[in-house]
Amino acid sequence: MTHHYTLTISCPDRSGIIAAVTGFIAQHGGFIVEASYHTEQEAQRFFMRQEIRADSLPFDATEFRRVFAPLATEFNMSWQLADSAQKKRLVLLVSKQDHCLDDLLHRWRSGELLVDIPCVISNHNELRSFVEWHGIPFVHVDMQSDKLAAFEKIAALFDEYRGDTMILARFMQIMPPALCRKYAGRIINIHHSFLPSFVGAKPYHQAYLRGVKLIGATCHYVTDELDAGPIIEQDTVRIDHGDTVEDLVRYGRDIEKTVLSRGLRYHVEDRVLVCGNKTIVFR
């Protein structure tokens, strides 16, 4: 992938937005390599994503932000400019199950997922040797005695390692509301059901008892309402009456891995814009 900037915009819908933004880029010789647009009709809000070749512009990302700011103010934009030369820093949180962690580390090690992983945090020690084999610091945070203090430590570690996004890769703990608010839009969870069905613990057992014919997984942003944050990506697999709970868990692991990796890729590539409790995903 060539060096590029990704400009993402959300603003009240009105005429002239596309012309103003693309005109600004053209005025400075910018070369747009990918463009996406969407209007959310009920909210009357406009969403835009532009990828611009960095070498086509006469200034760097910092100067781009400065020069673009007056136009953003004119249209009351919520916006950001990401530089592909600066990899996102992902802090992974895990418990004992390793399938999502294993998948993400494989994609990172192979260069498929272009991110930095400065550390892995866990409330158990079982995965220490596996993580350290990858050359990544592993930090154990005891959650048994004082959970509030434990989450304060997790937040401090996230800041210390300069994390951009916190990934709950089957981290089997409920995040406290204050932490969810502090890092709004920066915590991603993989939930092992097709939300909004079967929130909370043991969703595969809930699905089995309900006799559903489809089970799934959901990648979503974490909010202070349990398993109810904006959904980034989902998928399902068909099951039948002959499948046991163990079968559902086994099928589910495969879906969880792929859904988390896809949703995370969309987030890392700045393809996800939040609109209330929904997301606009420019695939």
Q: Which residues are catalytic?
A: 227
- Report how far apart, in Å, the C-alpha atoms of 117 and of each of 92, 132, 230, 277, 283 are: 8, 12, 24, 28, 24
The end-to-end CA distance of the chain, in Å, is: 16
Closest C-alpha to 7, from 272, 270, 268, 281: 270
AA identity, residue 202: K
Sign of the Cα pseudo-torsion (74, 75, 77, 80, in order): negative
C-alpha angle 29/30/34, rounded to 5°?
150
Which residues is 175 bridged to in the sheet?
Answer: none
Question: Look-up: residue for tokens 């994390």?
Answer: 163
Output b/e per residue, 104-131; b: 16+ Cβ within 10 A. bbebbeeeebebbbbbbbbbeeebeebb
- Residue 121 contacts residue 141 (beta carbons within 8 Å): yes
DSSP conformation class of 106 = H
The CA distance from 185 to 274, in Å, is: 8
Q: Would you call 264 helix, strand, or coil by DSSP?
A: helix
The CA distance from 95 to 32, in Å, is: 42
